Structure 1
Amino acid sequence: MYRKTLATLVTAAALIAGASAASAQNLIPLSKLNGVNLGDSLINQGRPLPALTGRIGVNCPAPGVQSITARRMGGNRVRIEAVIKNVGGINWVSNRNQQTAMIGDDFGRANARRDFTRLDAGSHFVLRHDVNWNLANEFPSGFRASINYDPDIYIDGNPANDDCRRNDNSRSISAAEINALFR
Structure 2
Amino acid sequence: MTRLIAKLAVATLVACTASSSFAAPLFQIGKQFSPQSNILIHVQTPQIDPSILRPVACPDLEVSASQFENADGTIQVRINLTNISSADYVSDPSQQMLVIQGQNGGHSGTMRFAELASGRFIQWNDTFHPFEFPATYHAYVAFGPDIRTDGNPQNDDCLASNNQASLTTAR
| TM-score between the two structures when normalised by the length of structure 2 | 0.61
Secondary structure of the structure 2 residue equivalent to 1:154: coil
Q: Distance in 1 between matches of 2:139 and 2:68?
A: 15
Tell me which residue corresponds to 2:149: 155
Q: 1:58 to 1:72 in 2, by over 3 A?
A: farther
1:94-122 alpha-carbon deviations (Å, 9 max, x no partner): 00211111321247x86232111000111
| 8 Å CA contact retained: 2:65, 2:79 | yes
Which protein has the larger Cα radius of gyration, Structure 1 or Structure 2? 2
Q: 1:113 to 1:74 in 2, by over 3 A?
A: farther
How many aligned positions are there? Answer: 117
| TM-score between the two structures when normalised by the length of structure 1 | 0.57
TM-aligned CA deviation for residue 141 of structure 1? 3.3
Quick check: 1:88 aligned with 2:85?
yes
Quick check: 1:73 aligned with 2:84?
no
Tell me which residue corresponds to 1:145: 139
Tell me which residue corresponds to 1:61: 59
Consecutive unaligned residues in structure 2, runs of 5 or more: 1-52
Secondary structure of the structure 1 residue equivalent to 2:151: coil
Tell me which residue corresponds to 1:25: none
Secondary structure of the structure 2 residue equivalent to 1:125: strand
Secondary structure of the structure 1 residue equivalent to 2:93: coil
Which one-letter code corresponds to 1:82 in the other structure?
I
Aligned-pair RMSD on alpha carbons? 2.3
Identical-pair percentage:
25
TM-aligned CA deviation for residue 129 of structure 1? 1.4
Q: Distance in 2 between matches of 1:158 and 1:110?
A: 33
Q: Distance in 1 between matches of 2:99 and 2:156?
A: 19
1:6-47 alpha-carbon deviations (Å, 9 max, x no partner): xxxxxxxxxxxxxx9xxxxxxxxxxxxxxxxxxxxxxxxxxx
Which one-letter code corresponds to 2:97 in the other structure?
T
Tell me which residue corresponds to 2:26: none
Q: Distance in 2 between matches of 1:101 and 1:152?
A: 17
Q: Distance in 2 between matches of 1:63 and 1:77?
A: 29
Aligned ranges 1:125-140 → 2 under 5 Å? 125-134=122-131, 136-137=132-133, 140=134
